[in-house]
Amino acid sequence: MSNVETFAHIAVALRLGPHRFRESGTHAEPGTTLLTVGGAVERPGVVEVPLGTPLGIVLSAAGAAPPQAVVIGGYHGTWQMLRPDLQLSHATGLGAGVISVLDGSTCALGELARVVAWLAAQSTRRCGPCRFGLPALARDVAGIAAGKDVAAAFHHAQLVNGRGACHHPDGAVRFVMSGLHVLREETVRHRTGGGCGRPVRGQLAVPV
């Protein structure tokens, strides 16, 4: 529980009292939350919103371009098609509170492959799923972006999921599988048409 946002909420709850504190948010999750919004938006940054705020309101406030896809919860989170009425809360997979928007100008499969390669490089390589599974999964996704079939990625994801010494491999698998589900039409386009013709613009940021 020792993080800045939790301590800030405790201070607000003590100052306002429980009844006023619960006036924001939902019945199950009262209060506010901090969201880091980035990607294809005019106004990236950190915003504070009541829990339960619809995704469409957050994207509109950030000046988001018409999304091709939205990643909710950071790089251990999930890819979503645009659902403006989706209420943002921990119960709906808000996770780390990071929302990334991809517009139609970037190759979404290339963005996915780029992030998965970064995730594979961040492990401590102390167990098989991280040492061997994540690099294999990263190669699979890069292959899909280059026009290969998705079967190898699904196979390695099944081998990795739930078998790591920590939950880093599980988060990476969740990110990959949800991405391939949302981008299934893109995978067909890359496999049958030799790609989508769009560059990878780095809308999903990774440290250099």
Domain limit, last residue, from 103, 127, 158: 103
Compute the Cα dihedral for 9, 171, 79, 119 and give only its sign. Answer: positive
Same domain, 139 and 82: no
Q: What is the model's pTM?
A: 0.92
Same domain, 82 and 169: no
Distance CA(116)–CA(71), nearest Å, equals 13
Does any domain span residue 9?
yes
- Number of domains making up the chain: 2
Same domain, 97 and 126: no
Contact call for residues 132 and 159 (beta carbons, < 8 A): no
Does any domain span residue 198?
no
Mean pLDDT of 46-55: 96
Does any domain span residue 204?
no
pLDDT of residue 207: 87
Same domain, 99 and 8: yes
Phi, psi of 40 (to 5 degrees): -80, 70
Same domain, 25 and 90: yes
Residue-wise over 49-64: b if at least 16 C-beta within 10 A, else e?
bbbbbebeebbeebeb
* C-alpha gyration radius of the chain: 18
Same domain, 129 and 73: no
**Residue 1 pLDDT > 70, yes or no?**
no
List pLDDT tens digits, range 143-195: 999 999 999 999 999 999 999 999 999 999 999 999 999 999 999 999 999 89
Same domain, 97 and 118: no
List pLDDT tens digits, range 84-134: 999 999 998 998 899 999 999 999 999 999 999 999 999 888 899 999 999
pLDDT of residue 43: 97
Helix (H) or strand (E) holding 50: strand 45-50
Does any domain span residue 206?
no
Please give the residue range of the domain that contains residue 172. Answer: 108-193
Q: What is the mean pLDDT of the chain?
A: 94
Residues 6+ apart with CB under 8 A from 10: none
What CATH number does residue 124 fall under?
A: 1.20.1440.230
Show the tokens assigned to 30. 């009262």
Residue 22 CA to chain centroid, in angstroms?
A: 28
**Residue 3 pLDDT > 90, yes or no?**
no
Same domain, 96 and 11: yes
**Residue 135 pLDDT > 90, yes or no?**
yes
CA angle 142, 92, 120 (to 5 degrees): 25
What CATH number does residue 94 fall under?
A: 3.10.20.600
Same domain, 61 and 127: no
Domain limit, last residue, from 75, 103, 131: 103
List pLDDT tens digits, range 54-65: 999 999 999 999
**Residue 2 pLDDT > 80, yes or no?**
no
Does any domain span residue 84?
yes
pLDDT of residue 197: 94
Same domain, 38 and 125: no
Domain limit, last residue, from 77, 103, 129: 103
